[in-house]
Amino acid sequence: MKIDKQNLKYLAELSKIELNEKSEDKLLKDIQAIFDYFEELKEVDTKNIESMSGGTIEKNVFREDEFMGAGTSRKLIDAFPEKENGFLKVPAVFE
């Protein structure tokens, strides 16, 4: 897999990260080297192997959907950088 500057810019856009021009070349080179390393996985036969999404005990955990008390919510709201009437203030999403 070859990554070019165009790919990199697109990925940065998806990641919502502004890249600075100076570090782009180095980032591209490093990411390319890491991708080249991944090539070795192609030689592993994974036919009929179930993918493993992690954890020790792979089963879902459920709980009753009950109100558990406000707990820390007041403190969380207090910690918002900008707030209004107990809500997190954000810029307009639609212009």
Partner 1 sequence: MDLKNLTIKKFHNGLANKDFSAFEVTKVFFDYIEEKDREIGAYLRLTKDLALSQANKVDIELAKGKELGILSGAPIAIKDNILIDGEPATAASKILGNYRASYDAAVIEKLKSAGVIFLGKTNMDEFAMGSSTENSAFKITKNPNDLERVPGGSSGGSAAAVASDMCVAALGSDTGGSIRQPAGFCGVVGLKPTYGAVSRYGLIAMASSLDQIGPIAKTVEDAAILFEAIAGKDELDSTSIDYKYKIQDTKYKIQNFTIGLPKEYFAGGLSKEVENGIEEAIKNLKSLKIEFKEISLPHTKYALSCYYIIMPAEVSANMARFDGIRYSRFLNLKSEILNLKDIYLKTRGEGFGEEVKRRIILGTFVLSSGYYDAYYIKAQKVRRLIKEDFDKAFKEVDVILTPVSPTPAFKIGEKTKDPLKMYLEDIFTIPVNLAGLPAISIPVKKYQDELPVGFQLIGKPFHEADILGIGKHYEQLAIKND
Q: List residues binding partner 1 (CB under 8 A).
A: 1, 3, 8, 11-12, 14-20, 23, 27, 30-31, 33-34, 37-38, 40-41, 44, 46, 49-57, 61, 63, 71-72, 75-76, 78-82, 88-93, 95
Indicate if the alpha-carbon torsion angle 64, 68, 73, 75 is positive or negative: negative
Q: Which is nearer to partner 1, 30 or 86 (CB)?
A: 30
Q: What does the alpha-carbon distance between residue 31 and residue 3 come to, in Å, rounded to a whole number?
A: 8
Task: Tell me how far, at minimum, the Cβ of 6 lies from partner 1, in Å.
Answer: 13
